[in-house]
Structure formats: C-alpha cells, structure tokens
Amino acid sequence: MSPLLLAITALLILYACYNFVTSKPGKAPPGLIRLPVWGSYWLLLWGDYWFPHNTVAHYVKKYKSKIISLWMGKYYTVIVNDYETVKEVLTRREFDGRDTKSFMGLSRSWGKTLGIFFNDSEEWQEQRRFALRNMRDFGFGRRHGGLESQFQEELRVLVDTIKNGPISESEKGVVNGDLVYFPNILYPSCTNIIWSVLAGERFGREHHDELRQLCIYASMFQKGGETAIGAVAMTPWLSRFGNLFSFGDWVEGHQGMTRFIKRYIDERSEAALVDKSIEGFIPAYLKELKEGKLTENFSEEQLVMVAVDFMFPALSAVPSTIVHAFKWLMHYPEVMRKAQEEIDRVVGMERFPEWDDRKNLPYTESVIREVMRIETLTPLGVIHRCTENTSLKGYDIPVNTVVLTNLSAMHNDSDFWGDPENFRPERFLDKNGQPVKDFTLPFGLGRRVCGGETFARFVIFELFATMLQQFDFSFVKGQPTSLKDKYPGLIVQPTRTWIKLTARS
C-alpha cells in the first residue's frame, strides 16, 4: 500500500472517530463528547461514580448552559437544569413519553409493556385514570376520615413500639432500649397505610416483620434502579452476570413485591369480591375485570404492575424522606427545637398531630419542604422520551430523545435560591412566618406528576410531626449518621442507621 493511500486511510479513520465522538443531531445544546459503548456516561462516572448526576453540574458550568446534551450509550440525551426549563419539559405533552421498549422496563413485567411508571400512550393514560379514580374512593389523593383514623392507629402502634420496647425477637432488630433502627422501624406504618388503600386491610403487629421485608424489597428495587439509566440499560448483556451493577437487586426486589400482591390475589381476592365490607383498589379492579366492564388493556398482570407502581414509592421513598429529615435535624438541633415548640404550642401532647393541623404548623411544614429540596430523592427525575420532533429553548429535540429533568440541580441553583447550600426552612416562609409559594418539584409536575403526591405529603407530614412531638433525636457513636451516608438508585436513600430516641414529656 502506497504512503499516500495509508495517509488517506488514516485521515478517514480519524474523521470517522471525530464524527462519532462529536456528532449530535440538528442544532443540539452544548455538551459532552461520546466514547465507545457507554457514550458520555463514562465521563459522568469519572466525575462521581456513585452519584453521576453530581458531575452534570460541572458541565453546566463549563458550557455556561442550563441545557446540555450527551450520549447515554446509543441514547441521545438532553438534560435540563433550571426551574423554567424543567417546568416547560414537565408540562409539554411531547415530553410525556417513556422508553417503553427499554430492557429495564420489560425485564420487570414479563417482557410486556405494563403498569404506569414505565408506560406511555393511551394505555398509560387509561390505567392511570382508572387507578386514581378508584383509589380516591379509599382515601388516595383526597380527604378520607376512615384512612386518617387508620393512620392515627398506625402511629400509636409505632410510638408504643419505640417507647415500650419489642414484643418479639424480630422487633429486637429495630428497637434496642432507646436505640431505634431507621428506616426499618417506619416500614410497617408506611406499608399498612398504602395497603389499606390497595386491598382494604391492614396487618397486625405480629406481621410487621413480613412488612419490613416487603419494604426491603422495595428498597432493593430502588437501589437496583441505578442501572435503569446506567450500565445494564445501555448494555443489557451485563444482566447475565448476576448482581453486577445491582441488576440482581432490581430483579429480586421487584419479584418480592409482585409475589406479595399475587399472593393476596390468589388467597383473598374471591372473598373480597363477595364481602362488600372489604373496600380497596385491587378488589374493585378485579370485580370490574370479572364482570367484563374493562377493555382488553386490563388484566391481572396489568393489575399487579399498577399496584407495584403505587406501592414501591410509598414503601421506600416516604420512609427515606423521613430519615433524611431526622438526620438534618440532628445536624441542626435548633431547627428541631423550633419545630417541636410549634407542635407543642399548636397540638400539645394530649393527641397526635392531624392533617388539619398542617395549616397551623407552617414552620414544621417548611422543614419538610426544605428537606425535600436539599435532599432531592430523584436527582434526575424520571426518564422522559420526546414523542415527536420539537424544539426547546431554540435547540432541536428529535423524536425519541431521552430528556432528563435535573431536579437536584434545579433545587440547588444559586441563581434561583440564593443560598441553596444552606439548610434554611425559613426560605419557605414570609416575614410573618406564613407559607410562600413552594417552587420545589419533588413529585414532578404536569400530566406525569406522581399520582401519589397528596397521599405521600399526608403520610410524611403526620409521621414526621408525630415523631418530633414524641421524641428527641440524637447521634449514636459509630453509626452512619453523616449527611453523606446515602445509597444511589432510582431514589437517593439514606444509609440504615441506629438513632437514639428520647421520649419527650
């Protein structure tokens, strides 16, 4: 081969490499180069292996742009990082899509497109509408005296367990004198309240160990979800290597939740259809299914996936938020004292805080808001897919582009919040101590907003306020109570830890 031909071949190879590394469709936002196999994901991992979303902030600053583009393996991806653009993405219909053919989504639903979380189009809308319409009848998303009374009973059991100690060997794993193991101690309360909506029943204290295991499955599923936008999602053949990149946790966690729901359907669904006193979403779904009132998109498999999609946030995200809050309060005891003083003044000690007290406890509510801001559970939100060719802030967004809403960056944007690095609940109050507009978006926005937002806020408020009313919190030497002790995943979960609780009088 002549030297000239060699030179031309080398130049062509270099051009092809350059084109692969730098090319992006249309008028693209500035952003990261693409490398083989995982694309730009290599660079995100290089910046922060466990929490790659933190690396995004570096590139936002580097490119001086609140919108950046990159390649996640073969997926062209746009990440938006400021309030205005995040809100626009979440409220425009062309960004409502999901990657319904993704390996991660199909791997949990028997190779089918089922449920709500990883679904879109008419099927998603149909399932979501039916679920929310029926679940509202049982207290999901609106006031329901029966559900609120049930949760008050759950809180009484929780407080009694902590104050009076374990009644079984299994409970010794969560209560040891004045030491309490978080978030596991909260799991039965969080499970029973969502299960009462789904199935119309609650479990007694003798079944709490089973409920804790169910929440551990949900936590495993969430933790394994780091693969959803990571290595296994981009290179599915890695799933053959067991728990590599936590894919095994994703599978085992999901299977644990589906087994729980299927067992209920197998053991008690017929009785629930006959006994009119049993009220719950699952019996209502099965009844209409049995009577042939539903379309072909409805099935028992679909029911299981829809139930899982409502369960796993309640079993993992809610207790995680509470524990994040307790850790911040232990680091900021003056905030804890101020919230407790407000609760003492408004509620006293004769009863537990109730949902009606929320409007009279603005500082306590502002603490919750500040925790959900500074500890954004879903840093990059939930993956969106562009369903048609469109534009965003002057940039071209081709159909099937993956769009990520960087809620963590938005919640920590100094241009918007002024001092986002400071834990300051007062930012949500005016000069008279009354609530101001909440610009945080921990549950998303628009048609894809979390269907359980109202329910989650209710549970978080009552659980948080009751625990503050009843106990003081303090560190236990040697335990992971640092604010940096977290697990990555679909949500950022606090590391499990023992905390010292002292009963207040």
Q: Which residues are known binding-site members?
A: 450
Reference 246, options 228, 264, 268; nearest CA is 228
Picking from 152, 211, 223, the residue whose alpha carbon sits closest to that of residue 185 is 211
| H/E run at residue 285 | helix 281-290
DSSP code, position 49? S
- Residue numbers belonging to the annotated binding site for heme: 450
Decide: 138 and 279 in contact? Cβ < 8 Å. Answer: yes
How many whole angstroms separate alpha carbon 218 and alpha carbon 224? 10
- Residue 77 neighbours by CB under 8 Å, 6+ apart: 40, 69, 70, 71, 401, 402, 403, 404
Sign of CA dihedral 14, 20, 25, 30: negative
Residue 472 belongs to what H/E stretch? strand 471-474
**Token reading at 80:** 């938006």
Burial of 149 (0-12, 13-18, 19+ CB in 10 A): exposed
Rounded distance between C-alpha atoms, residue 12 and residue 343, angstroms: 71
At 376, the amino acid letter reads T
Interior CA angle at 212 toward 207 and 217, to 5°?
A: 125
Distance (Å, whole) CA 341 – CA 461: 16
473 membership: H or E segment, kind and range: strand 471-474
Tokens of 400: 């099937």
